[in-house]
Structure 1
């Protein structure tokens, strides 16, 4: 049997034919898989499964069409009216959690996001997700309207901000460390995230899961990517994390320049909560969009390794080598930041030398003035050289 596109051939230790159901051992850890072959037959849909839970109404299937096999699983078209996402691996219940939690579901009801009409979930893992739409945009189509999609994502994040959790900087930095260690990259990046950078409920938007409703782009919540499931903890992430993943996915379709990145980010900021536009939230010195571009590229590199995609692996490694120059610049800025503390130290020395009369008042005043000037100058230079977020 030929390996489907969703089979992680780059990391599995067993052939596809021997792992249709049960546990799969990979170089990144263990995976649980269920046999999806039966649900590709229309007759299987005549009776709903006895195990697990079903959220929504089980469909009456008259026509079943396989749209495609992709890296996220299988896409079906039911009756020409619904799209079905089948997730062969157990990667969590992000989508059904969004539907089960009534406040989230209600808040999103008027937003450009299409929640599923039915979900079959087993042991805390979403297996089959049905969306009430009949078409999905292709990569080129979605790319051509990416700025409108960015606006939609901003509106969705603005609605979910009321359910945000505070900055979890340590966990986000640990997540970076886990991915870097697994991929054995030569890059390392941690960030002291701003208090305006908060965690949101997971929607896992993807450029291959966007539809059009009443002439406007509408995004479909997706299961967690296999790469993230294997390498990361199930954390909430900032809205920027998902936005930058979309940007990096589209970059594989067409390279983006600074102007394009700026417009894409600004389209989101114009519709997201005003706090997301705070200078500290966008500061590269505090992480900002650039560290989440880095996070997205690490995940794309993981996907390239998992699915043996040499072209994606090459482009991801080129991007990561380029980011080393940005990190070198940030290292120089951290040197200037140390000037602030040197100035503060000088002020303390001047104060105590005056109090203890170990130096004359004039010399102590000169030391204090020079230290204050040096501290203020170093701090201003540090922030003035902060790289642009795009």
Structure 2
């Protein structure tokens, strides 16, 4: 059965094909895409119209997990989106979806599949080449809707009750995933690599912003999703929410991560997506209330250490710095596609400098806190009090230091308040 040629929508429109070609498995072509500022290597499969085409594509690949028998399958349809080619397959009366990963992945998909709980909509298996994920396969399930469509409708209509309910349950769905993988892999926070990543993105985009942070030690590295959108949160007929493990975004091909991330970075992906939908719909609702509901849903089900106030503390990066990273990635993708300034990414980036200035001004209070406590303690050590009157000044210094430190922490903006509103 001949099928229409599928348009390669995953290719960034502002990047051209270079003559340079790399190694590739049977059934694939290695393509280098280049532009003035960036380049990326991708693998594209031949057109898959038959069982024979499918076999020629997988012949050099190694499989993992559960995959359909290549000898008893039929190709139903092909489609594409900005993340790659999708092929619908039928084998032994079961329908499968094969998702091709043009720029590969972080090679943690199988680990996410094996360790996440059963309510997650995840691949059953896949194919690799040279230890790199090339194809992921999942058995097709029918859902009532996805939260992206439901949320757009609620935001457009200004229906606060429905929007908040969707956001809270979406946050819970993400937090439940994080709880399910809590015991799998957790390593210390990777401040050096995270700050280097921000530096590289800023340089790649010639940004006029610089943001580095002394991240909280509680923001430990874990088995993060890499990217999550409201299109990845599915709703069943019983109104149960399921998180979908999806192919990686274009930005992960343009600038491959060389580090692991904390759970709050996944939350920032959803918060950023909320911002995109809020701008798209020009919703009359209060964005702060919406963000608060999403964050609270996540906190209610995520591991307590990964969602503690220390992790959200803006003076140590908090949620804000990961929103900044997401904004840089959005601009990176829009540059590769020449699709115009993305919102709210450009608005967030434009507010980084004034946001940093306000935090810098707050450090005067932090310095006063440190000096006061130091003076109080050093006075007691150097001149041990012999009477009550000797304790008045050091006590005052310590109390002043405590209250100024508390004030400094309170000056940290709450995570539900968008940086664009500060």
TM-score (norm 2): 0.77
Deviation at 1:130, TM superposition (A): 1.2
What's the CA shift string for 1:131-180, capped at 9, x where partnerless? 11245756323656343222111111011111222222222222222222
- 1:45 corresponds in structure 2 to 54
Cα RMSD for the two superposed structures = 3.4
What's the CA shift string for 1:158-217, capped at 9, x where partnerless? 111112222222222222222222222222222222232221113233333344456323
Match status 1:121 vs 2:125: no
Contact map agreement 1:175 1:232 (CA 8 A) in 2: no
- 2:215 corresponds in structure 1 to 193
Would you identify which runs of 4 or more consecutive aligned residues in structure 1 move more than 6 Å? 361-367
Contact map agreement 2:216 2:310 (CA 8 A) in 1: yes
Match of 1:266 among 292, 296, 307: 296
Q: Tell me how many residue pairs correspond in the alignment.
A: 376
Contact map agreement 1:45 1:61 (CA 8 A) in 2: no
Contact map agreement 2:105 2:133 (CA 8 A) in 1: yes
- 2:407 corresponds in structure 1 to 381
The separation in 2 between residues aligned to 1:53 and 1:326, in whole angstroms, is: 49
Q: Which runs of 5+ in 2 are unaligned?
A: 22-27, 155-165, 280-285, 417-422
The separation in 2 between residues aligned to 1:240 and 1:40, in whole angstroms, is: 42
What's the CA shift string for 1:106-143, capped at 9, x where partnerless? x4243x31221231111222221111124575632365
Match of 1:244 among 263, 268, 287: 268
Q: Which runs of 5+ in 1 are unaligned?
A: 100-104, 356-360
Match status 1:282 vs 2:306: no
Deviation at 1:62, TM superposition (A): 2.4
Contact map agreement 1:200 1:238 (CA 8 A) in 2: yes
Contact map agreement 1:142 1:210 (CA 8 A) in 2: no
**Equivalent position SS for 1:64:** strand
- 1:296 corresponds in structure 2 to 326
Contact map agreement 1:119 1:126 (CA 8 A) in 2: yes
- 1:93 corresponds in structure 2 to 107
Change (3 A) 1:159 1:96: closer
**Equivalent position SS for 1:218:** strand
Change (3 A) 1:308 1:364: farther
Deviation at 1:261, TM superposition (A): 0.3
Match of 1:108 among 98, 116, 128: 116
Contact map agreement 1:339 1:378 (CA 8 A) in 2: yes
Change (3 A) 1:223 1:97: farther
Change (3 A) 1:300 1:368: same
Contact map agreement 1:31 1:90 (CA 8 A) in 2: no
**Equivalent position SS for 1:66:** strand
Change (3 A) 1:206 1:131: farther
Deviation at 1:321, TM superposition (A): 1.3
The separation in 2 between residues aligned to 1:26 and 1:41, in whole angstroms, is: 35
**Equivalent position SS for 2:182:** helix
TM-score (norm 1): 0.83
Deviation at 1:315, TM superposition (A): 3.9
**Equivalent position SS for 2:170:** helix
The separation in 1 between residues aligned to 2:209 and 2:277, in whole angstroms, is: 24
Deviation at 1:260, TM superposition (A): 0.5
The separation in 2 between residues aligned to 1:121 and 1:353, in whole angstroms, is: 67
Match status 1:330 vs 2:359: yes
- 1:358 corresponds in structure 2 to none
Contact map agreement 1:6 1:72 (CA 8 A) in 2: yes
- 1:9 corresponds in structure 2 to 13
Deviates more, 1:263-272 or 1:250-259: 250-259
- 2:87 corresponds in structure 1 to 76
Deviation at 1:373, TM superposition (A): 4.7
**Equivalent position SS for 1:77:** strand
- The structure whose residues are more often helix, as a share, is 1
Change (3 A) 1:291 1:325: same
The separation in 2 between residues aligned to 1:365 and 1:295, in whole angstroms, is: 49
Change (3 A) 1:207 1:66: farther
Change (3 A) 1:261 1:109: closer
Deviates more, 1:288-297 or 1:43-52: 43-52
